[in-house]
Structure 1
């Protein structure tokens, strides 16, 4: 199932006698957009993989280290 498509658009323009410039624009179009569902899935993955505990431990250790090095 293809959820998004890539589009390339080329623009060429002339700015003077000897200069020729080209710009390529890359765009995406999404077919199925469910922001709330995607956020729920990301949060569930964040909790199931234990990354939330790693974040909490990191914040605690960082705060403790700051307290030990701050005088």
Structure 2
């Protein structure tokens, strides 16, 4: 986080301190730009979703989800007034 603290001398703002702050911010921005830069190739959302769904079914996670819903509903009915 960059905090701007201008130096005031004789009622005037010292421009040199602002230049240092702006340079510091621009360097920080360049580093973040390289950090978030990505190369995305061949995006197929439907194929990725189908692959994930197929894995969800084949791994048996759908059964865990169903059992969790049933047990959660039963727990809720027993604990509600």
| Structure 1 unaligned spans of 5+ | 1-14
For 2:68 and 2:58, locate their aligned partners in 1 and report how far apart those are by CA, in whole Å. 18
TM-score, normalising length: structure 1: 0.70
Cα RMSD after superposing both structures: 1.7
- Equivalent residue for 1:50? 60
Q: How many residues align?
A: 57
Which is helix-richer, 1 or 2?
Answer: 2
Offset at residue 30 of structure 1 (A): 1.1
1:38 and 1:68 mapped to 2: Cα distance?
Answer: 40
Could you list the runs of 4 or more consecutive aligned residues of structure 1 that deviate by over 2 angstroms after TM superposition?
18-21
TM-score for the superposition, normalised by structure 2: 0.62
Structure 1 range deviating more: 25-34 or 49-58 = 25-34
More strand per residue: 1
Whose relative contact order is higher, 1 or 2, with alpha carbons under 8 Å and at least 6 apart?
Answer: 1
Q: In terms of Rg, which structure is larger? A: 2
Instruction: Between 45-54 and 27-36, report the one with greater CA deviation.
Output: 27-36
Q: Which residue of 2 aligns with 1:63?
A: 73
